[in-house]
Amino acid sequence: MIVGQGLAGSLLAYFLLKRGQSIHIFDNNHQGASSKVAAGLMNPITGRRFVKSWMIDDLFPFAEKTYRSIEKEFDVEIYKKREILRALFNIKEENSWDERSGIDSYEPYMNSAPEATGVAALFKGPFSWGGLPGAGQVDVPLLLQTFQVHFREKDLLDNEAFQYDALGFGETGVNYKGIQAKKIIFCEGHQARFNPWFSVLPFVPSKGEMLQITLPVHDLKNIVKHKSYIAPLPNQTYWIGSTYEWNDLTESPSEKGRESLVNALDKMMAVPYKVVNHLAAIRPTVKDRRPFIGEHPDNNSLLIFNGLGTKGTSLGPYWANEFCDHLLNGKELLSEVNIARFF
């Protein structure tokens, strides 16, 4: 049994089915799902100091391979390789960019002289641009919808809230409303904070808000990181985001969030734009920024796959597959992701 059909639950279900397992999923219709508002960016180099993301040399190739397989299997376009153009605001930033991109292990991901002429005209001039040719973008809402249709067709998905107090425990596993299973895996995103068995884990959820805009006169194909990210979405709209907020964990968009995003837009866009949508969700961010994977210490029928934080698209495929290897072939989980680290 899998609870949650966001990015985590969908990918886990996909790999379990590939390995011939029988599964059943419960999802309360993506209520508050972080996956529904994500831009789906896969960014190999982040932060002010331009550092490679954790395990990126393993995560990226595996994620790309997985999204390409899903595209083929379901005849959908969900993954685009898209260079990120990063605005560099002064000579110091440009020097650090050049320094980093000269390091052998950074070389495949960074470009010191990207082609930015067409794009630059849309933005209020930074000092220069750096390029991240290894980046990509996943259409996460389409991925979820594709899987939802597939799981429903196979009668593997019930769109209802899972009731914890209806879960029964037996000698060989768990039972829920007439369904028997060896294991139940909770993939509930930030809502795992309310899960009676896993709420003790150190979740540090963060609310994120985004705007959807149109650019009436221009067509932008790259992802750009300037004062904020701007990334192409379907139907000639663009994703702008996102904010980080740790105190207000309501799922609705706020005036404060909108203001901060519009401020960033005004500082970066040299062309007119129109806001057409404003959404918010809570990310399943965690204290040590590593996924939460593994068995409950008191009952190995209860498991969790969570903590994908701000990087679900790059982390999800690799760790869903590793988790399957652990469940089905006994492969040990890396201690950095195993929830045993907290018990």
Point out which residues bind ligand FAD (CB under 6 A). Answer: 3-9, 26-28, 30-31, 33-35, 37-41, 161-162, 187-191, 208, 210, 241-242, 281, 283-284, 306, 308-314
CB 304 within 8 A of CB 292: yes
Rounded to a whole number of angstroms, the minimum distance from the CB of residue 71 to ligand FAD is 17
- Specify the residue, 174 or 210, whose C-beta has the smaller distance to ligand FAD: 210
Rounded to a whole number of angstroms, the minimum distance from the CB of residue 243 to ligand FAD is 7
Rounded to a whole number of angstroms, the minimum distance from the CB of residue 104 to ligand FAD is 26
**Position closest to ligand FAD via CB:** 6
- Specify the residue, 134 or 241, whose C-beta has the smaller distance to ligand FAD: 241
What is the spatial distance between Cα 39 and Cα 232, in angstroms, rounded to a whole number?
A: 9
Rounded to a whole number of angstroms, the minimum distance from the CB of residue 168 to ligand FAD is 16
CA 14: distance to chain centroid?
16
Q: What is the DSSP secondary-structure string of 67-136? A: HHHHHHHHT---EEE-PEEEEE-SHHHHHHHHHHHTSGGGTTT-BSS---HHHHTTB---SEEEEETT-E
| Both structure tokens of 222 | 């790259």
The helix/strand/coil state of 164 is helix
What single DSSP character describes residue 53? P
Rounded to a whole number of angstroms, the minimum distance from the CB of residue 102 to ligand FAD is 27
Q: Which helix (H) or strand (E) holds 209?
A: strand 206-214
What single DSSP character describes residue 331? P
- Specify the residue, 110 or 281, whose C-beta has the smaller distance to ligand FAD: 281
CB 5 within 8 A of CB 27: yes
